[in-house]
């Protein structure tokens, strides 16, 4: 009987072409599948909670796969990490009930977009934060973000290249954290459209600059028109922060596991 293994993986997306496999290669999925092959000999496909674009990072991306391997669940993370490059690190692995599916079972996803407000870029964050040295009105950005909460048609906040049949999504929560000169925009939702968080971040920067008002957000949602919103913020400031699942659906042995910290 095959087992359903779930893993939480963090990666520095700087040099990769995104999470999902593609013909040109160089994706996180390719790297993970190759590592699993050297470990179990199986040519299998993993199921990610969703894609991340080229250059986007993950603190806690989740994926699962079905395997015949008998490796005990507590050995998986260490075993796979020794077969991964140092910019891809599996943080946790466990066995899930058979029906668990990293994409279909996900209930909430949180993304973080980071903005470095120093006069000159922080060298140590240069791959993980967008440099924006001119002033931003954080209170206005907070107010604008809050207008996104709820169930809305997010057509204005997705790329015109979106191939999704419908664009209604729910945002549960938004918040902005200040950490010294760094600004972190957090968005938690049921799911996100192509480029959605980057367009939210780009629009919020226009609000912060005073080019848009927080009160413009409802009309943008109403417009269902990509040209009503701000630019798509650069990929390197974006990080998939965490993916939430109902504990009873995602773990066979809950008590044996610690949550990701």
Residue numbers in the known binding site for substrate are 111
Q: Can you tell me which of 86, 99, 134, 255 binds a second copy, judged by CB under 8 A?
A: 86
Q: How far apart are CA 33 and CA 18, in angstroms?
A: 14
Q: Is 181 in the site for a second copy (CB under 8 A)?
A: yes
**Which pair of tokens denotes residue 228?**
């009503």
| 121 sits near a second copy (criterion: CB under 8 A) | yes
Q: Which residues pair with 89 in a beta bridge?
A: 10
Enter the tokens of residue 122: 């922080």
With CA atoms as reference, report the closest residue to 59 among 6, 96, 113.
Answer: 113
Please give the structure tokens belonging to residue 114.
Answer: 């980071």
The binder of a second copy chosen from 1, 41, 43, 120 (CB under 8 A): 120
Q: The tokens 């699993």 sit on which residue?
A: 36
Does the protein bind a second copy through residue 91 (CB under 8 A)? Answer: yes
Please work out the total of residues on this chain that contact a second copy, with binding judged by CB under 8 A: 25
126 binds a second copy (CB under 8 A): yes
Question: What 3-state DSSP class applies to 170?
Answer: strand
| Residue ranges at the known binding site | 111
Q: Indicate the residue among 9 and 196 with the shorter CB distance to a second copy.
A: 9
Q: Single out the residue of 48, 44, 17, 20 nearest to residue 33, CA to CA.
A: 44
Residues 8-27 that bind a second copy (CB under 8 A): 10-12
Q: Is 242 helix (H, G, I), strand (E, B) or coil?
A: strand
Helix 196-209 vs helix 138-146: angle between axes, to the nearest 10 degrees?
140
Tell me the closest approach of the beta carbon of residue 130 to a second copy, in angstroms: 13
Active-site residue set? 53
- Tell me which of 81, 162, 190, 257 binds a second copy, using CB under 8 A: 81
Contact residue for a second copy among 90, 115, 196, 205 (CB under 8 A): 90
Binding residues (CB under 8 A) for a second copy: these are 10-12, 57, 59, 77-78, 81, 86-91, 119-124, 126, 128, 180-181, 261
């Amino acid at each position: 009987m095959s087992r359903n293994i779930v893993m939480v993986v963090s990666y520095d997306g700087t040099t990769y072409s995104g999470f999902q496999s593609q013909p040109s290669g160089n994706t996180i999925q390719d790297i993970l599948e190759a590592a699993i092959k050297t470990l179990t000999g199986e040519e299998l496909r993993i199921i990610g909670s969703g894609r991340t674009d080229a250059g986007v990072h993950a603190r806690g991306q989740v994926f699962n796969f079905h395997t015949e391997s008998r490796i005990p669940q507590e050995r998986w993370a260490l075993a796979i990490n020794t077969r991964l490059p140092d910019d891809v690190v599996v943080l946790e692995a466990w066995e899930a009930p058979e029906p668990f599916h990293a994409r279909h079972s996900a209930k909430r996803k949180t993304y973080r977009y980071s903005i470095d407000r120093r006069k000159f870029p922080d060298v140590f964050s240069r791959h993980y934060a967008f440099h924006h040295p001119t002033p931003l009105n954080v209170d206005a950005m907070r107010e604008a973000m809050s207008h996104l909460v709820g169930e809305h048609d997010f057509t204005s906040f997705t790329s015109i290249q979106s191939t999704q049949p419908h664009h209604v999504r729910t945002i549960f929560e938004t918040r902005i954290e200040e950490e010294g000169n760094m600004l972190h925009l957090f968005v938690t939702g049921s799911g996100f459209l192509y480029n959605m968080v980057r367009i939210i971040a780009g629009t919020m920067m226009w609000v912060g600059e005073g080019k848009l008002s927080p009160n413009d957000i409802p009309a943008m949602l109403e417009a269902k028109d990509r040209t009503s919103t701000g630019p798509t913020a650069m990929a390197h400031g974006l990080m998939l922060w965490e993916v939430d699942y109902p504990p009873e659906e995602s773990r066979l042995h809950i008590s044996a596991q610690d949550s990701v910290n």
